[in-house]
Structure 1
Amino acid sequence: MIARHIGCLECGKLWNDRKAGRQFCCTTCRMAFNNRRMKRGAELYDLFRAMRRERDQAKALGLWSEMCRLELRWHQEDEATRPGRRSYMPPAKALANLRETGRLPIGDVLVRDNATGSRRRA
């Protein structure tokens, strides 16, 4: 296998990668990256669930705009401390991870029951 020169997603340190798919130079960087994602995910979790389950109140409070502001703040923090490196998984990889672990079954389609206003699997 040909070694390619890549940079750590957390610290940006360059190294020759002999293992395909490796994204971090060390365990410390991998843990820092994942811990930041978990903390941010916890902050977003309640906002997202409220937006999906209590739409009228969420709309009145401008929850979507607040979620976008929160993401903008995270982006600005990242650019200040880790310029040029993303702190999230690409969309295709994020979906693949959910499907591989069974948390997002392939083919689940939700439809709205017009009589009750609730959603159910199709």
Structure 2
Amino acid sequence: MTKLHKCQECGNPISARRAGQEFCAAPCRQTFNNRRMQRGAELYDLFRALRRERSTASEMNLWTQLCRLELQWQTEDDQQRPGRRSYMPPQKALTILKDKGSLPRGEVLCKATRPRAA
């Protein structure tokens, strides 16, 4: 049985032939994934600096800049692709990372840097 819904990239109606089908054709899937890769590359260095060079990142208001970048992407998406998400839902993204073995597991990665108040 096929379920009718919209392509995540172009918005055209599609009949999903398999569970989880999100795109009407390969070009739509490629466009979607290429945009994610480009945006991810833009985000990578800024996020790493935010985590590893905290004093510099703080002086540069890096978190604010990251939020502005995301807002710019959302504005572009709203204009070019109204009503369609240009990112994976968090649960799906984490599942993929876990399945690939790319998500570290184990100890807490962020330890408190300030002494706790008594």
Matched, 1:66 2:51: no
- The separation in 2 between residues aligned to 1:101 and 1:88, in whole angstroms, is 18
Superposition RMSD in Å: 1.5
Evaluate the alpha carbon distance shift between residue 113 and residue 13 of structure 1 in structure 2; reply closer, same or farther with a 3 A threshold: closer
Q: Where in structure 1 are there 5+ consecutive unaligned residues?
A: 115-122
- The separation in 1 between residues aligned to 2:33 and 2:106, in whole angstroms, is 28
The residue matched to 2:21 in structure 1 has which SS? Answer: coil
Q: Which moved more, 1:29-38 or 1:10-19?
A: 10-19
Evaluate the alpha carbon distance shift between residue 108 and residue 22 of structure 1 in structure 2; reply closer, same or farther with a 3 A threshold: farther
Higher fraction of strand: 1
The residue matched to 1:112 in structure 2 has which SS? Answer: coil
User: Highest relative contact order (Cα 8 Å, sep 6+), 1 or 2?
Assistant: 2
Identity of aligned residues (%): 56
Q: Where in structure 2 are there 5+ consecutive unaligned residues?
A: 114-118
Residue of structure 2 in register with 1:24 after alignment: 23
When the two structures are superposed, what TM-score results if normalisation uses the length of structure 1?
A: 0.87
- The separation in 2 between residues aligned to 1:89 and 1:8, in whole angstroms, is 14
The residue matched to 2:11 in structure 1 has which SS? Answer: coil
Residue of structure 2 in register with 1:91 after alignment: 90
CA drift at 1:106: 3.6
Matched, 1:105 2:107: no
Amino acid at match of 2:109: L
CA drift at 1:16: 1.4
Per-residue CA deviations over 1:16-50 (Å, capped at 9, x if unaligned) read 11211110000000000000000000000000000
The number of residues matched between the two structures is 113
